[in-house]
Each structure stands twice: as C-alpha cells, then as structure tokens.
Amino acid sequence: MVGSLNRTCLVLNQNYEPLSITQVKRALCLIYLGKAEIVEQYGFGIHTVSNSFTAPSILRLLYFIHIKRPNLPLTKRNILKRDKYICQYCGTKNGPMTTDHVIPKKLGGKDTWENLVCACVKCNNRKGERTLEQADMELLRHPKRPHFFFIVHNLVRIPDPKWKQYLFLE
Ligand SMILES: [Zn+2]
C-alpha cells in the first residue's frame, strides 16, 4: 500500500492546464477536502483498514490558481537535455557534448537559455570565439527557454500514458 501512495498524480488547474505533480497520498487529501476532483484513475486500488479508494492518476482542482512557476535552473545538464544531447551545429549525437555560447562571451554573449546550445567538441572548437556568421555555421534550431511541459517530460517519469494528452505530448 505504501508504494501505491507514493505513486505520482498529475494535478490540473481548474482550466485543465497542467499545474504540478503530487503524490497519490496528497491527491487523496485534496479530494477528501473537496478541493479537487478525479479526472483519471490508475487501474489499482488502495486499501486501508477502514476504507478503499481507487488511486487517482489525474486530478483537477475545483478552483483556479494563479501560479508563477519556478524557473528551471540554467545548467549544462539542462541545456544538453533541452537539446536532447544533439549537437545543434552538425546534428551528431556522438561523443561528449559541451555547451557553446552562440554569441561568444568575449563579444558580450550572456549565459542565457537563448545563447547556450549543446555542441560536440569538434563544432565547439571549430566555432571558437566567433559569431555564427564569422564561423559560417548555422544552428539546427533557435534556442529557447524550455517550457514547463519540458520539465515534466524530461525530468519526471510519466507513470500513466493518460497524462500525455494533458501534457500535450500526443
Ligand atoms: Zn557538432
């Protein structure tokens, strides 16, 4: 039973926008308190001495909450994850990956999601401290700050395929 209670549950805002991920234990509290309703259930139940429940997989809050999501930390690991460990210059997946400043630091380039990309060692060395134009190189795609759904998709194991439609992964 303890294992089932530690399963994760996707929490949707009142407007069905994904909000957070919580444990089944906490999800059951929200339902008990009348703050949320069950949208989807897992195929198993939870039995306690006096009660039995069907484990919720997706919950929807019955009230709307305005939330400012925490920013994903800008780290080498997260840059590489965002770019799926693909060199953004040549497209290779081979070899150790580095992060490259699109506009080099020497030329005023900043440490931002928009200016850092995953690059293989070869491309990083080839580009050196030059701009794309100077190096005559192109990016596979324009680097952006990852969306909240990226975090859910990449950093959390999705325990139920039903989540995908709510996370716009289908
Ligand atoms: Zn490369």
Please report, for the chain, the start and end positions of each structural domain, with discontinuous segments joined by +: 2-68+148-166, 76-135
Instruction: State mean pLDDT over 125-134.
Output: 96
The model's confidence at residue 131, banded by pLDDT at 50, 70 and 90, is very high
**What is the C-alpha separation between 147 and 137, in angstroms, rounded?**
27
The pLDDT of residue 154 is 63
Q: What would you measure as the largest C-alpha separation in the chain, in angstroms?
A: 72
Q: Is the pLDDT of residue 1 over 60?
A: no
What CATH architecture is 76-135? Answer: Orthogonal Bundle (1.10)
What pTM value is reported for the model? 0.57
Quote the DSSP letter at residue 105: G
Q: Is the pLDDT of residue 17 over 70?
A: yes
Instruction: Give residue-wise pLDDT tens across range 96-109.
Output: 999 999 999 999 99
Cα–Cα distances in Å, from 2 out to 25, 46, 160?
9, 9, 18
Residue 53, CA atoms < 13 Å, CB-side half-sphere: 17
Distance 52 CA to ligand 1 centre (A): 55
Amino acid at 34: G
Distance 98 CA to ligand 1 centre (A): 10
| Torsion angle (degrees, nearest 10) of CA 82, 71, 35, 39 | -10
Distance 105 CA to ligand 1 centre (A): 19
Distance 95 CA to ligand 1 centre (A): 9
Distance 139 CA to ligand 1 centre (A): 10
Amino acid at 134: Q
Distance 97 CA to ligand 1 centre (A): 9
